[in-house]
Copies of this chain bind each other. A is one copy, B any other.
């Protein structure tokens, strides 16, 4: 507990920013036994979070919110099935979530809504004094990135970006290896969101995946809101699944920061081709001009001299991969091919080793402890851990592992890459969301087995 209190003091915005008032943040020795949560957004992602919450004995679901009554019903039935107390329900209009936020008994909220709602809802939640978890990506514009940071600082409410890939088993094992200096000094990383989303961006308005070429009002689930971003924006519109883990490896915002980037987009072909292939040349959507380049490449320079390549690749036929590569002065790991080379440790010079033995040897303490609990959770277990980190941080009212500065810095890739592409690859400079404090903020202590 002493450690937690020190962490709180170090990480808290109060100590760092000298605010004139003290938010209602308890100290670590007053760890809550039960966290009262409200869920905003009961789509497929919100449903997954609710499912994981209902597995836990330290969460009480106070309220759920969705503007779609069918989705509210899904949430209600899940709660009933678990034999838990019924939750209050919100969603009579777009802003009914604000009534949920007024409930004093709610400690924390989880926001899993369409992207354009992430920042407005997070801002409102922090203003309401709620410990706020927001799905990825957290912000769509640079102004929204600042909204997250400024609201966090003004209110003292904590924000966690719920990046589940940071908790993937191999990603955490590699984090363990990074912290134990297996790769030496880090030099270069690669990552990205390489996922053929053509059957996610389009459907028939009934099935989520695999039917039809409708989107927007005629679409269902993600096709209803996500696809419009591909129509209108040429940018890395979904950067955090790749960037989150890598940013953690090199302690971005904690002794390091993103300095600048350049971005390049290919021509846009995949979505039009998909519409024509599936819906025919005469389909009304076949006439649309899609702004999003099929593959977007962003390269980031960090203050500490590393470079990071981030890829966005969602419109083309390809198997899924987040394309991780971590390279340092002692060696290199690549997720593709599950391979590793560590100087002096490799079985043969200049030859890859299978990474499995390394990943097992450096299995993260959290995974060692909670692997069986994680089994039922989504996305190979990582959803358990991101929820666990959120809940345990919120119960202690301490800063989360992935905070408002991370949410802002990672999400800012979207507006910055958009500007760079529009300028033919011109350099864009990251704002320093920490207002200079990255030079003294200490790396987050990832190497523990609690959360």
Contacts and interface: CB of A to CB of B under 8 A. Distances in A.
Interface in A294-334: 294-295, 297, 299-301, 304-307, 309, 313, 316-320, 327-332, 334
A284 to B, nearest CB: 22
B329 A341 contact: no
Contacts of A265: 307
A102 interface: no
A187 B350 contact: no
A300 B295 CA distance: 13
Contacts of A330: 317
B299 A262 contact: yes
B343 A266 contact: no
A299 B301 contact: no
A131 to B, nearest CB: 37
A266 B425 contact: no
Interface residues of chain A: helix, strand, loop or mixed (majority): loop
Contacts of A261: 425
Task: Identify the interface centre among A297, A300, A342, A426: most chain B CB within 10 Å of its CB.
Answer: A297
Given A187-B267, A262-B264, A425-B427, A329 B316 contact: yes
Interface in A330-367: 330-332, 334, 336-337, 341-343, 350-352
A331 B317 CA distance: 6
Nearest to A185: B269
Contacts of A245: none
A424 B427 contact: yes
A224 interface: no
A327 B319 contact: no
A317 B299 contact: no
A124 interface: no
A334 to B, nearest CB: 7
Interface string A235-278: 00000000000000000000000001110111101100100000
Interface residues of A, number: 53
Interface string A96-133: 00000000000000000000000000000000000000
A319 to B, nearest CB: 5
A343 B352 CA distance: 29
A196 interface: yes
A334 B262 CA distance: 24
A305 to B, nearest CB: 3
Nearest to A421: B301
Contact of A307 (B269, B297, B320): B297
Nearest to A352: B319
Contacts of A266: 187-188, 305-307
B329 A270 contact: yes
A252 to B, nearest CB: 15
B331 A318 contact: yes
Contacts of A352: 319
25 contacts: A187-B316, A188-B297, A196-B350, A261-B425, A264-B299, A264-B301, A266-B305, A266-B307, A267-B305, A297-B309, A299-B425, A301-B424, A313-B327, A316-B328, A317-B342, A317-B343, A318-B341, A319-B350, A336-B336, A336-B337, A337-B337, A423-B427, A424-B427, A425-B427, A426-B427
